[in-house]
């Protein structure tokens, strides 16, 4: 998975055995593909996935 105009971050809580991943993009991307890459890489026992869309007020390049 290649991110353009984007970023991804991982937040680990080792003592709890928890890893949080955030993927943000100004360009369209497949949230399902991102989740599949993370699932293959980390093989989690459980997944709680949430998609937050910025909304129609932003144009294709993130401009109002």
Per-residue pLDDT band at 19 (split at 50, 70, 90): very high
CB-CB neighbours of 17 under 10 Å: 9
pLDDT tens digit string along 4-14?
677 889 999 99
Which tokens is 11 given?
A: 């937040």
The alpha helices in the chain, defined as continuous H runs, are: 31-42
> Please, what's the b/e burial string for 34-50 (b: 16 or more CB within 10 A of its CB; e: otherwise)?
bbeebeeeeeeeeeeee
For position 12, what pLDDT does the model report? 92
Q: Is 51 left (phi over 0), alpha (psi -120 to 50) or beta?
A: beta
Q: What is the pTM of this model?
A: 0.70
Q: Is 34 in contact with 23 (CB distance < 8 Å)? A: yes
């Amino acid at each position: 998975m290649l991110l353009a105009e984007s970023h991804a971050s991982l937040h680990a809580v080792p003592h709890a055995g928890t890893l949080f991943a955030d993927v943000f993009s100004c360009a369209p991307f497949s949230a399902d593909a991102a989740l599949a890459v993370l699932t293959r890489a980390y093989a989690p026992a459980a997944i709680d996935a949430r998609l937050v869309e910025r909304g129609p007020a932003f144009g294709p390049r993130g401009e109002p």
